[in-house]
Chains A and B, each alone.
Chain A
Amino acid sequence: MQINLFDGLNKVIFFVCMMCSIAAFAADGESIMIHGGENPAAMPCISCHAPDGKGMPSAGFPRLSGLPAAYIEKQLYDFRLGSRQNPVMQPIAKALTDSEIIAVANAYAKRPKINVLKTPTTPPIPGSGGWIAQRGEWSKNIPECTLCHGPEGVGVGNAFPPLAGQPTLYLESQLLAWKGEVASAKNKKVSPPTRHNDPNGLMQHIAASLTDTQIKAVSEYFGSLNDSTEAFDESQHRLR
């Protein structure tokens, strides 16, 4: 009896400790979002990515809520390395410690994932942004976005992030970052791509092959897919 009681107490202590350590871990990531990292140069995430982590569409700041931890970690390391260039994020990524990167990435991964509002499946209009998203432009070797980023662009695994739920301006800026600026009659400026961190170079060629008009259209398509208030349904089936 006594032994049982002692055993029970042990379990309680163990459980309390577990909860504390989990809470401490979560508080770490959550605290970085609100207060920033130890180094003051690692500014609070919420000031651009919003308190709910869903980004600021009007300014083109991306959603981080529900993105895979491994994906967020990789992006932060790539900002440090410079394979992904951005004047705001590079100094922040450099100021964050490795453990802070892991903590904040995990905290965002625990936040709600994008769940696209269910709409009746209607075929996209040829030439529209939805067409590129769902049908691609194979004459230029561009597969439909959803072939890798999943049905309605909800994201697949750690390497193919969600496109749905991201601000139009953010998606457009990233495609242009992969493409770089090409000289034209109107625009004499040539600037090289600022993003080189796509695995196996899968995005570079796609961005380079899309026209700026197509980039805008496909970004608007994914930017217009509204977040549903329903929880992400793992059993969902979305027809192509």
Chain B
Amino acid sequence: MKTLFRNFLIVSALLGSSSIFALDKSKLEDQSQIPSTHSRINKVVYFTPPADADLQNNAFGELVRRGEAIFVNTKALAPQYVGNQMNCVNCHLDRGRLANSSPMWAAYPMYPAYRKKNNKVNTYAERLQGCFTFSMNGTPPPADSEVILALTTYSYWLSTGAPIGKALPGRGFDEPPPPKGGFDINRGKVVYEKQCQICHGSNGEGQKVGSNYVFPPLWGKDSYNWGAGMHRINTAAGFIQHNMPLGRGETLSDLESWDVAAFINMHERPQDPRLIDGDIEKTRKRFHADDGVNLYGSTIDGVLIGQGAK
């Protein structure tokens, strides 16, 4: 069983890697996943978003501030669109300004863009809506809603002076390459207990002050759902390697980051809202088979993964 499991992991890692890193031009045009820039190898100078003091005190400045407030307090200020307990700032650290934490200044200038995820050209508003559907496990705000308008204005302002349509270093999460020997969930559990549990809890449940989360839940009903980009092990590995533990980013090795990302992303979370006919296998084939490295629809130790947490 154990060998079988390990083989499966290696196979899935290999399958995943071929789908991410194949330098096929059609794949690169797809903005569903962000290609790695390997910034740790070459010291790069990142784009600097404008300073807070540069913001004008006018109607535009007011909407930027509103967007920033929604960005960091999403659950509190846009509760009708957030189905779990996540805020934008949980994945996009430093108010969406931090390189390799999918900063807004690197995302905004890349849209409109084709995304295989929904097989069409997406506007920036649609991209934001995707976050609400998957990462926030909620309801997408209408494109002309105040929430989308404010978040778009905030992103636009952060991108002041950034080139349009040019992939900037620090974009996305700059994923480390998949480990040669495959990843290992058991090793990931050890990393989790040593490095992550103190903040995110022994069951990935996060930690609250009163009724409000300070450390976000990593799995379970209050976390991102099975359709979120973060459910991909490669994506989570990038976020973790660069940014976790808080303030001590880039101290975990690539292997540790992959292992712990796999451990986190083998746990149940809200169902993929694109679930086809209530069938996990159909949903896996359609949406997960070619979506980086992920465990949705696979079987680990006899348990089917992707049943969804309620």
Contact = CB atoms under 8 A, between A and B. Distances in A.
SS of A interface (majority): loop
B210 A141 contact: no
B73 A143 contact: no
Given A148-B214, A235-B211, A159 B198 contact: yes
B210 A202 contact: no
A159 B198 CA distance: 7
Interface stretch (A23-31, A54-62, A149-157): A149-157
A141 B52 contact: no
A119 B140 CA distance: 33
A151 B73 CA distance: 12
B210 A234 contact: yes
A138 B214 contact: no
B194 to A, nearest CB: 8
A206 B198 CA distance: 17
A240 B73 contact: yes
Nearest to A156: B214
B210 A235 contact: yes
A222 to B, nearest CB: 15
Interface string B233-262: 000000000000111110000000000000
Contact of B76 (A147, A205, A233, A237): A237
A143 B246 contact: yes
Given A138-B98, A148-B199, A202-B245, A237 B212 contact: yes
Nearest to B212: A237
A143 B245 CA distance: 11
B171 interface: no
Interface string A166-194: 00000000000000000000000000000
B7 interface: no
Contacts of A235: 210-211
B49 to A, nearest CB: 11
B198 A150 contact: no
B interface, how many residues as a size bin? Answer: 20 to 34
B69 interface: yes
Nearest to A151: B209
A239 interface: yes
A90 B210 CA distance: 34
A233 B72 CA distance: 22
A142 B249 CA distance: 10
Interface string A213-240: 0000000000000000000011111111
A200 B53 CA distance: 35
A109 to B, nearest CB: 16
A143 B211 contact: no
Interface residues of A, number: 31
Contacts of A206: 247
A145 to B, nearest CB: 10
Contact of A141 (B53, B73, B212, B247): B247
Contacts of B98: 138
Nearest to A141: B247
Given A148-B214, A151-B214, A239-B76, A138 B209 contact: no
A151 B87 CA distance: 14
B97 interface: yes
A138 B247 CA distance: 8
Contact of B52 (A126, A136, A233): A126
Nearest to A152: B209
Contacts of A234: 210-211
Interface in B67-85: 69, 72-73, 76-77
Contacts of B95: 135
Contacts of A126: 51-53
A87 interface: no
Given A202-B245, A202-B246, A150 B52 contact: no
A123 interface: yes
B111 interface: no
B93 interface: yes
Contact of B73 (A123, A157, A202, A239): A239
Nearest to A140: B247
A199 interface: yes
A150 B212 CA distance: 10
Interface in B90-113: 93-95, 97-98
Contacts of A147: 214, 246
Given A150-B209, A151-B209, A154-B209, A138 B97 contact: yes
